[in-house]
Amino acid sequence: MTKYIAIAVLSLALLIPATSNASRYSFEDTRSGALIPGKVYLGVKYGLLTINEPVSGSDDVEMDNVGFTFSGDINGYLALEFAYNQTVTESDLDLFDLGPELKVSSDTLGLFLVARTRGDVYLKGRLGYTRAAQDISYSGSSVSGNVYGLAGGIGAGITLAKGTALEIEYTIYPDTNKFEKLGPGFDDGLETEFVTIGFVWSFE
């Protein structure tokens, strides 16, 4: 719960200055670092999805994910964003250096409200609702299912050319409770974090 309160506070901290300065936004501003009514954004990103310590004291579960984002302006300072990420290299973790290995994949999708500052170097915050489709297997047991809930995060970007930007983001996804179904020793309510880097293109 504390985590989600922190996300909400962070998102509001980004939204308040944007709202108070809304009149300063120009519809003729063509910099890709500003959200301009009528624009849509397409992003392609690579990320590392991490689930923290499925067994107390173990290494984290880490998966390579690639995906895309599609967003459109609501007004001069807010956008609505759809994001989808798919596991391309599943985790293959030897928990106790004895085998068997823990195998995990997690595909995520979500719908986010995004606030972004102006300029060629900018900050962004986002808050939304997500689903993670997880497949987990260990020692002959397997678990598949969806994890739903609030997610949020922060990011930064830099404009490389007109209509093109490079962005890095950190997102906290809902805690997963799937691992406990594998049996005794596995923890419940594991934190899920996602760090991405990628390109974003804007179009009128």
How does pLDDT run across 108-164, given as a tens digit for each residue? 999 999 999 988 999 999 999 999 999 999 888 899 999 999 999 999 999 999 899
Residue 95's contacts (CB-CB under 8 Å, 6 or more residues apart) are 54, 55, 58, 59, 101, 102, 138
Q: What is the pLDDT of residue 38?
A: 60
Average pLDDT, the chain: 83
pLDDT at 80: 96
Strand extents, DSSP E, 27-100: 40-51, 61-73, 78-89, 91-94
Instruction: Please give the pLDDT value at position 34.
Output: 44
Predicted confidence (pLDDT) per residue in 3-24, tens digit: 444 444 444 444 444 444 433 3
DSSP string across 107-162: EEEEEEEEEE--SSEEEEEEEEEEEEEEEEEETTEEEEEEEEEEEEEEEEEEEEET
pLDDT reported for residue 27 = 34
Structural domains for the chain: 2-203 (2.40.160.20)
Q: What is the pLDDT of residues 22-50, one digit of tens each?
A: 333 333 344 444 444 468 999 999 999 99
Dist CA 38 CA 26 (whole Å): 12
**Residues β-bridged to residue 64:** 48, 89
pLDDT in tens, 53-104: 998 888 899 999 999 999 998 887 899 999 999 999 989 888 776 677 899 9
Residue 2 scores a pLDDT above 50: no
Q: What percent of the chain has pLDDT over 90?
A: 58
Using CA atoms, how far apart are residues 13 and 18, in angstroms rounded to an integer? 9
